[in-house]
Amino acid sequence: MTRIVFLLIPRLHLLDLAGPAQVFSTAIDFGLPYTLSYAAAQAEVPTAQGIAVKASTDWPVADILVVPGWRSPLTNEALDPAMTTHLAEHHARGGTVVSVCAGADALGQAGLLDGRRCTTHHDLQEHLARRYPRATVVRDVLYVIDDRVITSAGIASGIDLALHLIAVRHGPGMAARVAREMVVYVRRNGDEQQASALLRHRSHLNDAVHRAQDFIDARFTDRLPLAGLAARFDVSERTLTRQFDSAIGMSPLRYQQLLRVERAEHMIGHGSTVEAAARAVGFSDARMLRRLRNG
C-alpha cells in the first residue's frame, strides 16, 4: 500500500491539490493500492479560491508527501517549522517528497532543494533561484525528479506528474487508463515546455481560429490542405488565412509545421534520428524538417 499525504498550506490553490489527488483517487478506483490523507498545521485550511478544506493536524505515516502550491508564495514567509521538519525527516528516512507550483518553496525551506535540480511555475522560477542559490532551477519544464525530490511547474502540471508516478509504478498502460478516465487528452513528459506551441498561440479571442487549431492540434501529422480546412469551417481559404494571421501571426500551414517541428525536436532529444522523427510527424523526408529547424 502506497500512502500519499498532502501537506496543506493556507491559501493553497485548489487545482494544485485536486489535480494530483484526482489522479490517485482514480487509480484507487481501478484497484491500485493507494491511500490518500490530508494534513496541515490547522484543522481547516483556507484556499485561494475562497473555500476551506479540512485536514488532520497529526502527521500521518506516508510514503509520498505532496505539497500543493499556494497564493503569495516566495515572500520570505516562514512556514510552520513542524511541517518543514517533517518534510526533511521524511526524505531522510527514504521517503519521496513532491511539490506542485509554489510548493517548491516548502521543499526549499526544508533544505531539500540544496544541491538538487528543481522547477516551479514559470512566473516564480527567478525568485526561487534567488531564494535558494544552492539549487539548480530548471526552467520551462513540467517536472524534475532528483533523488526522491520531485518538483513540478504550475497548476495542471501536477496532473502530469501524478500520471508519471502511476506510470513508473504500474506501467504506461495504467497511466493511460487513468488519463482516459479523467478525460485528460495526453500525458505530457516532464521535459516538455511549459509554454509549448499548443499554449503559446492560444491567448487570442477568435473562437473560429481556436476551433481550427483544435482540429489541427489533433491531426498535425496528417496532410491538411488549406482548401479542406476552409471547407470544413465553411469559410474561404483567404478568410481562414487572414483570420489565422490576425489571431496568431501565421498561416494554418505554418502553425501545423510549428507543431510538427516541436514534436520532432522532442523525439530527437530522446534519441530518435532526424529521419525517423521527420517521418513520425508527417514529413515525407528529413529535408523539410532540417530546413524548418534551421530557418
Catalytic positions, please?
Answer: 101
Rounded alpha-carbon distances, angstroms, from residue 261 to 16, 221, 264 = 31, 10, 5
CA 277 to chain centre: 23
SS3 category, 131: helix
What cell was used for 293? 529547424
Q: How far apart are CA 219 and CA 28, in angstroms?
A: 33
141's CB contacts (< 8 A; 6+ apart) are 119, 153, 190, 191, 192, 193, 194
Three-state DSSP class for residue 166: helix
DSSP helix/strand/coil, 45: strand
Residue with cell 510538427: 260
Distance CA(94)–CA(244), nearest Å, equals 52
Supply the DSSP symbol for 119.
Answer: -
Q: Nearest 5°: CA angle at 271, between 269 and 273?
A: 100
Closest CA to 234 of 256, 211, 265, 261: 211
C-alpha cell at 291: 530546413
| Residue bearing cell 491500485 | 32
Alpha-carbon gap, residue 246 to 248, rounded angstroms: 6
Q: Give the largest CA-CA distance in the chain.
A: 64
What cell was used for 31?
Answer: 484497484
